[in-house]
Amino acid sequence: MQRAVVLLSGGLDSATTLAIARSEGRECHCLTVDYGQRHRVEIDAAARVAAALGAAGQRVVRLDLAQFGGSALTDPGIAVPQAPTPGIPVTYVPARNTVFLSLALGWAEVLGAHDLVIGVNALDYSGYPDCRPEYVAAFEQLASLATARGVQGERFHIHAPLQHMTKAQIIRRGIDLGLDYGLTHSCYDPGADGQPCGRCDSCILRAAGFVEAGVADPIAVPAPSPRT
Amino acid sequence: MQRAVVLLSGGLDSATTLAIARSEGRECHCLTVDYGQRHRVEIDAAARVAAALGAAGQRVVRLDLAQFGGSALTDPGIAVPQAPTPGIPVTYVPARNTVFLSLALGWAEVLGAHDLVIGVNALDYSGYPDCRPEYVAAFEQLASLATARGVQGERFHIHAPLQHMTKAQIIRRGIDLGLDYGLTHSCYDPGADGQPCGRCDSCILRAAGFVEAGVADPIAVPAPSPRT
């Protein structure tokens, strides 16, 4: 089996990515980053998903990106928008995917893996710079220049199987592969009980995806009501 | 003053890099990574150097790369070579500079800085893949694709002022700038008292550099003797 390092946040997209990588027969080593995100509850989801999908292993790397701030996901002083916003959302975490892919690359080199798998997709594409195909291609090029294995002529590949899929297509693919989306967590701004807010970008994209896919989301999302 | 993020390990090269960036009038925000290196004592050196050179600030980011292993610098089970070795040394830490530059990039974006400064140089070049000019150029290209500021048309620049200098040239430049190399730490394998071993690659390169520069190293390095 070909070894791969799979970035696994615990969200819908990365869980589907892992399901796809497993269906391709890969030995998947999952990397989850505890980076100070306000939706830390996703880390528990990542562990559940890794176990359910038969990952060969999972590591949780702690890295306090909150000390830099600059994002609604890491700075409690920046509110998570309760509706989609034009341009790059304030939930963008500066250089996050570059940090994540770098960590995955380091681990891959130690594992002797040449494949890195990341769940960036076309819907994110419109907002986050580090989800675009040209970004992924640039990182792939960097990876071979950055590493001892690269210098020795080996090549790393960054797989982004969701890149050109809509959220509904992603969900249908996951369901076809038997993925239980009840294990996943998407909300950027969950309550103290870990329940999704139903209002943030991520909740809205997820809900719309399930509607378009024509299936029910196994996670019960409460109907949005004005916050007091 | 133009803001810059300077990667500062506490070693001779990064200290000189900071001195150069300060001499260019930059407002320097220093980033030090506590990554599980066996020569953790360099982190104290970084704090001394940042303070002495008037850095605008210093952050120490904790990130346990030792959990991945694969390097003599992070895995106690891999010995630090006591003489230079051909090829890529076992002190290479997989993807380390990519992880460091990614963190620097994220912080730079939050600070509104466009300049990242790293102390890679020609002597390292022969051994570490992520010290080569083509690597630095590839990261610079990635940086603008990876970030919100990049998408908005701003460009990041990776400065590697030591890139084509010998160790002796680096030392002379630092001395010209008034840098006290007694504040720095270079040894990969210090004793429990923090004293340099005098045997590892890093000690040997440093010693040869001071000899070639024709100046005394303010750090007293004991004469190597066989280890028992």
Task: Retrieve residue A25's tokens.
Answer: 């027969």
Say yes or no for a CB contact (<8 Å) between B63 and A61: yes
Question: Is the residue at A38 inside a domain?
Answer: yes
| A177 at interface of B, judged by CB pairs closer than 8 A | no
What integer pLDDT is reported at residue B176 of this predicted model?
Answer: 98
Helix, coil or strand: residue A125: helix
Say yes or no for a CB contact (<8 Å) between B146 and A130: yes
Question: Is the residue at B223 inside a domain?
Answer: no
Say yes or no for a CB contact (<8 Å) between B106 and A88: no
**Is the predicted pLDDT of residue B7 greater than 60, yes or no?**
yes
Reported pTM: 0.95
Q: Which residues of chain A have pLDDT under 70?
A: 124-126, 221-228
**Is the predicted pLDDT of residue B84 greater than 80, yes or no?**
no
**Is the predicted pLDDT of residue B122 greater than 80, yes or no?**
no
Question: Is the residue at A16 inside a domain?
Answer: yes
Report the side by side order of strands in the sheet with A157-159.
A57-62, A27-34, A3-7, A115-117, A157-159
**Chain A partners of B65 at a C-beta cutoff of 8 Å?**
106
Q: Tell me how far CA of residue B89 lies from CA of B68, B108, B110, B124, B128, in angstroms.
A: 17, 31, 35, 10, 7
Question: Is the residue at A189 inside a domain?
Answer: yes
Q: How confident is the model at residue B87 (pLDDT cuts 50, 70, 90)?
A: confident
Helix, coil or strand: residue A112: coil
Helix, coil or strand: residue A99: helix
Q: Which of A119-133, B9-23, B42-56 is least confident?
A: A119-133
Q: Which residue is it, tokens 């000899």?
A: B211
User: What is the C-alpha to C-alpha distance for residues A18 and A162, in angstroms, rounded to an integer?
Assistant: 11
The values of phi and psi at residue A29, to 5°, are -105, 115
**Is the predicted pLDDT of residue B120 greater than 90, yes or no?**
yes
| B36 at interface of A, judged by CB pairs closer than 8 A | no
DSSP strand E in chain B: where?
3-7, 27-34, 57-62, 115-117, 157-159
Question: Is the residue at B80 inside a domain?
Answer: yes
**Chain B partners of A135 at a C-beta cutoff of 8 Å?**
142, 145-146
| Tens digits of residue pLDDT in A66-82 | 999 999 999 999 999 98
Question: Is the residue at A225 inside a domain?
Answer: no
The values of phi and psi at residue B185, to 5°, are -135, 130
Say yes or no for a CB contact (<8 Å) between A142 and B129: no
What integer pLDDT is reported at residue B223 of this predicted model?
Answer: 59
Task: Look over chain B and give the mean of its residue pLDDT values, rounded to a whole number.
Answer: 93
Angle between helical axes of A96-111 and B96-111 (0-180°, round to 10): 170
Domain span holding position B63: 3-213
Whole-number percent of chain B with pLDDT over 70: 94
Question: Is the residue at A228 inside a domain?
Answer: no
The CATH number assigned to the domain holding A78 equals 3.40.50.620
Across the A/B interface, how many CB contacts are shorter than 8 Å?
Answer: 135
Query: Is the CB of residue A68 less than 8 Å from the CB of residue A39?
Result: no
Q: Tell me how far CA of residue A145 lies from CA of A6, B126, B128, in angstroms.
A: 21, 14, 10
Q: How many other C-beta atoms lie within 10 A of the C-beta of residue A8?
A: 32
Window 43-62 of B: residues touching A by CB (8 A cutoff) are: 59, 61-62
Query: Is the CB of residue A138 less than 8 Å from the CB of residue A121?
Result: no
**Chain B partners of A147 at a C-beta cutoff of 8 Å?**
94-95, 129-130
Mutate which of A3, A91, A99 to test chain B, going by most B C-beta atoms within 10 A? A99
Task: Retrieve residue A109's tokens.
Answer: 């080199």
User: What is the C-alpha to C-alpha distance for residues A216 and A204, in angstroms, rounded to an integer?
Assistant: 14
Whole-number percent of chain A with pLDDT over 70: 95
Query: How does strand B157-159 pair with strand B115-117?
Result: parallel
Instruction: Determine the distance in angstroms separating the CA of B95 from the nearest CA of chain A, rounded to an integer.
Output: 5
CA angle B177, B181, B185 (to 5 degrees): 140
Question: Is the residue at B205 inside a domain?
Answer: yes
What integer pLDDT is reported at residue B46 of this predicted model?
Answer: 98
Instruction: Determine the distance in angstroms separating the CA of B8 from the nearest CA of chain A, rounded to an integer.
Output: 17
Say yes or no for a CB contact (<8 Å) between B99 and A102: yes
Tally of structural domains, chain A: 1
What integer pLDDT is reported at residue A87 of this predicted model?
Answer: 84
Q: How confident is the model at residue B86 (pLDDT cuts 50, 70, 90)?
A: confident
What integer pLDDT is reported at residue B226 of this predicted model?
Answer: 56
| Tens digits of residue pLDDT in B182-227 | 999 999 999 999 999 999 989 999 999 999 999 999 997 665 555 5
| A151 at interface of B, judged by CB pairs closer than 8 A | yes
